[in-house]
């Protein structure tokens, strides 16, 4: 289809042997809020054998056919072909909600320093999906300023899948662009059964996360997060029975990490960029406010990917961590840096002055907040939430029976929440 000059947005999708899923997605792309001649659709076919390329050609403006499967990072080939001012990444089973593409363009037009605009991702069961660090987007719903994406080097195809979003977000911010998630940008992600946790996912999870740590984190945080994430992905692998895949990924990640630690030494994130993603100083201020108001003992709810930010803050201000509650990771005698990891219900029974939701990712923090409030009437401090619940933390404190201690906790919650 001819364009008036150039398309405003290029939509890039990578796929492999999912003809019918892709066709359904492509049929849903007309509701983004732009005219058809303002959008071009590019499909990258990872050597499918089920007729995907022929089906895609009926809807897409361009189909890039590869000779092998290069995973989700094959979107990079679509970027090479894209002519739009802005580029939107989707998965073959994700599509924007009504008007979202036009609103994305508006955000870019209003902020010339915006490099990436992340979408809120909705799953079929009503839950939300998100990155595990602040403002890290998901590849199933993110828009880019084409200039910024190319200047930052684009997707690194060597990642194949898993953690490529962290790598790209870190490079964009390192290059001086801003990266944000927006409340008015929404995408539906069908998350088909083919997307379940596989041994291949386990392999790339640990391998690529170690590569990201090696590339971008300065000492001493490089050592801290490498240890934390090795432990985290090892526990997840055992949960899924993927021990062998984890060990292979661990060896590969350590080997590549040693090489990339040196070759990417000029890419270490600045203090401002590190704070943007990891929020160490912010969490410390919140924890210090709790300590100043008399909170001495806390329970952490959620062993988030960035739980170290909370652990470090508590240790620095002298707040004792009684336990970490997380049903996914709880096992007898399992500890995180000497703190017992137990089921959430059991953790909430430990003696403490407050429960801190220890996750810097807003999607997961909100989910944990709801779980904690459903099981406990303790003071709950949730410092990362995209949209505050109708009842604020302070209001929750005020609804509890008032004693002298409760008044102090209310003040702490107001200061720290």
Is the CB of residue 216 less than 8 Å from the CB of residue 264?
Answer: yes
- pLDDT tens-digit series, residues 4-38: 578 999 999 999 999 999 999 999 999 999 999 99
Domain regions of the chain by residue span:
9-190, 199-274, 279-416
Fold that domain 279-416 belongs to in CATH:
Rossmann fold (3.40.50)
**240: exposed, middle or buried (C-beta count within 10 Å: 0-12, 13-18, 19+)?**
middle
Q: What does residue 359 show for φ and ψ, rounded to 5 degrees?
A: -145, 130
Answer yes or no: is pLDDT of 415 > 60: no
Question: What integer best gives the mean pLDDT of the chain?
Answer: 91
- pLDDT tens-digit series, residues 100-112: 999 999 999 999 9
Please, which pLDDT band fits residue 390 given cuts at 50, 70 and 90?
A: very low
Give the closest residue to 12 by CA, choosing from 101, 75, 97.
75
- pLDDT tens-digit series, residues 110-149: 999 999 999 999 999 999 999 999 999 999 999 999 999 9
Domain 9-190 has CATH 3.90.550.10: yes
Give the residue with greater pLDDT, 194 vs 398: 194
- pLDDT tens-digit series, residues 292-305: 999 999 999 999 99
**Mean pLDDT of the region 332-342:** 97
Whole-number pLDDT of residue 196: 63
Whole-number pLDDT of residue 49: 96
Answer yes or no: is pLDDT of 397 > 80: no
Whole-number pLDDT of residue 388: 39
- pLDDT tens-digit series, residues 153-175: 999 999 999 999 999 999 999 99
- The encoded tokens of residue 409 equal 């906790």
Give the closest residue to 301 by CA, choosing from 234, 242, 383, 224.
383
Percent of the residues in the chain that have a pLDDT greater than 70, as a whole number: 90
CA angle 215, 221, 222 (to 5 degrees): 35
3-state SS class at 9: strand
Residue 138, CA distances (Å) to 5, 89, 208, 297 in order: 30, 9, 15, 35
């Amino acid at each position: 289809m001819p364009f008036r000059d150039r398309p405003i947005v290029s939509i890039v999708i990578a796929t492999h042997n999912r003809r019918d899923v892709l066709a359904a997605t492509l049929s849903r792309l007309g509701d983004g809020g732009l005219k058809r001649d303002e959008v071009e659709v590019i499909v990258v076919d990872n050597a499918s054998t089920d007729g995907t390329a022929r089906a895609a050609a009926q809807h897409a403006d361009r189909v890039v056919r590869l000779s092998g499967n290069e995973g989700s990072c094959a979107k990079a080939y679509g970027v090479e072909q894209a002519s739009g001012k802005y580029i939107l990444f989707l998965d073959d089973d994700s599509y924007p909600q009504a008007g979202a593409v036009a609103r994305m363009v508006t955000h870019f037009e209003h902020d010339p320093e915006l490099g990436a605009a992340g979408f809120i991702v909705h799953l079929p069961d009503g839950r939300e999906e998100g990155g595990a660090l602040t403002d890290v987007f998901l590849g199933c719903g993110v828009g880019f300023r084409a200039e910024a994406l190319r200047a930052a080097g684009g997707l690194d195809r060597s990642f194949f899948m898993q953690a490529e979003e962290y790598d790209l977000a870190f490079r964009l911010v390192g290059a001086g662009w801003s990266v944000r998630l927006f409340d008015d940008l929404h995408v539906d992600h069908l998350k088909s059964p083919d997307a379940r946790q596989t041994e291949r996912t386990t392999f790339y999870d640990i391998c690529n996360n170690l590569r990201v740590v090696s590339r971008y984190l300065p000492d001493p945080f490089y050592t801290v997060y490498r240890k934390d994430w090795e432990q985290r992905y090892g526990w997840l692998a055992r949960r899924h029975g993927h021990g062998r895949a984890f060990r292979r990924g661990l060896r590969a990640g350590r080997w590549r990490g040693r090489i990339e630690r040196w070759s990417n030494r000029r890419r270490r994130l600045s203090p401002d960029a590190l704070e943007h993603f990891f929020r160490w100083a912010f969490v410390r201020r919140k924890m210090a406010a709790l300590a100043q108001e008399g909170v001495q003992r806390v329970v952490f709810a959620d062993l988030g990917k960035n739980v170290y930010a909370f652990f470090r803050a508590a240790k620095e201000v002298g707040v004792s961590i009684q336990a970490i509650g997380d049903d996914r990771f709880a096992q007898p005698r399992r500890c995180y840096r000497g703190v017992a990891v137990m089921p959430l219900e059991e953790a909430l029974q430990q003696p403490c002055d407050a429960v801190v939701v220890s996750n810097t990712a807003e999607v997961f923090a909100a989910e944990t907040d709801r779980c904690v409030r459903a099981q406990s009437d303790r003071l709950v401090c949730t410092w990362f939430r995209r949209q505050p619940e109708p009842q604020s933390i302070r209001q929750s404190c005020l609804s509890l029976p008032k004693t002298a201690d409760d008044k102090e906790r209310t003040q702490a919650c107001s200061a720290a929440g």
